[in-house]
Amino acid sequence: RDSADSKQASKQTNMIMNGVLLVSVLVALQAGNGAAAFGSQAGFVQHRSRSASNSFSSAAADGQRSSVLFYSFPESSFQNDPELIMSAGGGLPVVPAGDRSLFDPDVEGLLADHSLNDRLAKGSQYVYENANDGLPFMADPTSTGVDAPHWLDAQNWLEGLDADGAVPLNFAKPTQPAIATVLGKTRLITADAPGDIEHIVLELPEGMHYVEGQSISIIPPGLQEAKNGKQRAHKPRLYSIASTRYGDILNGRTVSLCVRRAEYTDPETGLVDPAKKGVCSNFLCDATPGTKVEVAGPIGKTMLLPPIDDPETFQPQASTDIILVATGTGIAPFRGFLHRLFVEETVARHMYQGKVWMVLGVPTTGSLLYHSELMAMQENPKNGHQLELDFAISREQTNQQDGGKRYVQHVLTEQADKLLERLDNGAHIYFCGLKGMMPGITDALEQLCIRKNLNWDDKFKQYKQNGQWHVEVY
């Protein structure tokens, strides 16, 4: 890491000038451009973000667009104005860079009385004196020496949010909400897919933080009539957070939501009845950049990722398998999980050695949420093999049980042996979305236990006692 502020500032400016931006299209939105924040719009070109450069695959050949979901204007429109980018919330977070800040090179990095700095600087010329036999151990003499050590960047300044099992709770209460600001949004599903689902990025007030798996409340503007006939503020609506603690622009100041517009279509007229639309979801889906939003929270401990280290024994748990089962917008917390484990440059990502199996249920192919991001994670040669994906597309697939529509419970039924084996080996399973999926899933596991002469009730009790069973359905 460069120690001089001038070097750090120069490095940031150079990276911005080269177009290596983090969701820099937010700049265009705040500057008044009406294009969608993350969508593939005409006149936009793609740039891989700093965190995605090692995580996402290269752009597809033959002119096909890459599966990365970060877009910006062509370089010519911003390369001479980095201050505009930074002031609008895009670009690089202004924080000390370098994962060497996670430890002291002269303490934890000490080996045979030589600091990590000394050893890296000497490269292949470094000689290690073995304390047991006094014989020198030398690096391969044919290897290339390191004239100037290169430090890997890592995000770490928010890692203490869930230290010792504690998590941030109730920065703001519904009775005294904080004010967030809409930075941008985009439609997540295709035009021919049913309904409307938006990805919305909000800038949070300073000091408001969260961790993956938590939720925040949104209080829509306006009043509603209470049962006693009086007017009162709308009740808060709870939304699962769809980003990591660092947010989509990695500065620790934003939160992302995955919101389905709640509408009622009259079966006789085929028209949407505005009197029966969801107040909060429509407010968010119609919001424009700059809109102020009342928020409360964060809350929630049920859907947290298992710790990398056991809080009591401090033994590594980085090989714990994770099973994610979602329907529709229930994918929201899982997007945060996957970005933390497979995209961002964090200690959690570099330590994680387990496998993640996600089953997502949607009505049509065009309804697959964050599909390009998921594909990019799987294509990553570094750890893409750790991510397994199954899609249950109800209106396009048939199940093996009775030939009817295929839902997430059918996927798990078809692979019940795999599911039970992983749970018995300590995997954590998370359910988020429509509660209608739960009976089919538990029935499938119960039938499997019967075939194996096992007691499902005992198994289920064991999973819950071990903290392996996480449910957030509605």
Which residues are annotated as catalytic? Answer: 239-240, 432, 472, 474
The dihedral sign for the CA sequence 255, 258, 260, 261:
positive
Distance of alpha carbon 139 from its chain centroid, rounded? 40
Q: How many residues does the chain have?
A: 474
Do 121 and 312 touch, CB atoms closer than 8 A? no
Cα angle 203, 19, 81 (rounded to 5 degrees) comes to 75
To the nearest 10 degrees (0 to 180), the angle between helices 456-465 and 437-451 is 120
Distance of alpha carbon 173 from its chain centroid, rounded? 25
Spatial separation of the C-alpha atoms in residues 130 and 240, rounded to whole Å: 53
Q: Pick from 243, 172, 177: which is nearest to 208 by CA?
A: 172
Do 31 and 73 touch, CB atoms closer than 8 A? no
Spatial separation of the C-alpha atoms in residues 396 and 384, rounded to whole Å: 27
